[in-house]
A and B are shown apart, each in its own frame.
Chain A
Amino acid sequence: GAVVSQHPSRVICKSGTSVKIECRSLDFQATTMFWYRQFPKQSLMLMATSNEGSKATYEQGVEKDKFLINHASLTLSTLTVTSAHPEDSSFYICSAVARGQGATDTQYFGPGTRLTVL
């Protein structure tokens, strides 16, 4: 159990375009989902926290208008990188906390999405 999927796994786009990444909890309902960014050989940095039906909470230094997060249901959160630029190239990982299932502190991670902006 506690499987999280992400789509797409890889995406290449041109500078100035927008890219949407989906994060789904496959076998549980997620009260909260998180979006992280990971640069090569570095740790994960939290970008934002999203709760179903409410606005996302962004970490300091993360541009809200650039990284749009929508958590429309208890099993789906989306991250849209708007007007992408080469410096947005990175590995984006989502995670989810299960609703009503044991520990609410434990996050289950998706497999990640590699974004390359040309």
Chain B
Amino acid sequence: AQTVTQSQPEMSVQEAETVTLSCTYDTSESNYYLFWYKQPPSRQMILVIRQEAYKQQNATENRFSVNFQKAAKSFSLKISDSQLGDTAMYFCAIYGNKLVFGAGTILRVKS
């Protein structure tokens, strides 16, 4: 079984500042992948970043980076230089044998 926990229902950040979204997970799979997806008000799911669990190096995509702590089963997302367009629901997800999502964190970027 796979579970994903996002303990922050809502967060706010000022434009240009940095924010970190938390995510913990549990899985019985030995090989798995972790994702952060963004769902803006349009409701289109957008892939933000992907991490292969067997890789120790943290994934980065421009202003987005992760802190992957495998032993602690933690997978947080850091957004640097936050922009108004980053306002969205953010879902942490794990793929072992299927994709399982966390409950999501609503992020509001304020000007």
Q: Give bound CA distance, A38 to B37, whole Å.
A: 14
* A109: Cβ under 8 A from any B Cβ: yes
Q: Give bound CA distance, A2 to B91, whole Å.
A: 20
* B47: Cβ under 8 A from any A Cβ: yes
Q: Interface SS of chain B: helix, strand, loop or mixed?
A: strand
Cross-interface CB contact of B42 among A38, A103, A111, cutoff 8 Å: A111
Q: Are B91 and A106 in contact (CB under 8 A)?
A: no
Q: Are B101 and A107 in contact (CB under 8 A)?
A: no
Q: Interface SS of chain A: helix, strand, loop or mixed?
A: strand
Distance in Å from the Cβ of A10 to the closest Cβ of chain B?
Answer: 11
**Which of A16-24, A43-51, A61-69, A72-80 participates in binding chain B?**
A43-51
Q: Are A49 and B98 in contact (CB under 8 A)?
A: yes
**Considering the complex, which residues of chain A in the window 85-113 have a beta carbon less than 8 Å from any beta carbon of chain B?**
91, 93, 95, 103, 105-109, 111-112
- Interface band, chain A: 10 to 19
Q: Are B45 and A109 in contact (CB under 8 A)?
A: yes
Q: Give bound CA distance, A42 to B102, whole Å.
A: 9
Q: Are A112 and B101 in contact (CB under 8 A)?
A: no
Distance in Å from the Cβ of B30 to the closest Cβ of chain A?
Answer: 14
Q: What are the residues of chain B within 8 A of A93 when measuring CB–CB?
A: 43, 45
Q: What are the residues of chain A within 8 A of B43 when measuring CB–CB?
A: 38, 91, 93, 111-112
Q: Give bound CA distance, A109 to B45, whole Å.
A: 6
Q: What are the residues of chain B within 8 A of A107 when measuring CB–CB?
A: 95, 99
**Considering the complex, which residues of chain B in the window 11-67 have a beta carbon less than 8 Å from any beta carbon of chain A?**
33, 35, 37, 42-47, 50
Q: Are A111 and B44 in contact (CB under 8 A)?
A: yes
A selection of 25 A-B contacts at a CB cut-off of 8 Å is A34-B99, A38-B43, A43-B101, A43-B102, A43-B103, A43-B104, A44-B91, A44-B101, A46-B100, A91-B43, A93-B43, A93-B45, A103-B50, A105-B33, A105-B95, A106-B33, A106-B47, A107-B95, A107-B99, A108-B47, A109-B37, A109-B44, A109-B45, A111-B44, A112-B43
Q: What is A's interface to B at a CB cutoff of 8 Å?
A: 34, 38, 42-44, 46, 49, 91, 93, 95, 103, 105-109, 111-112
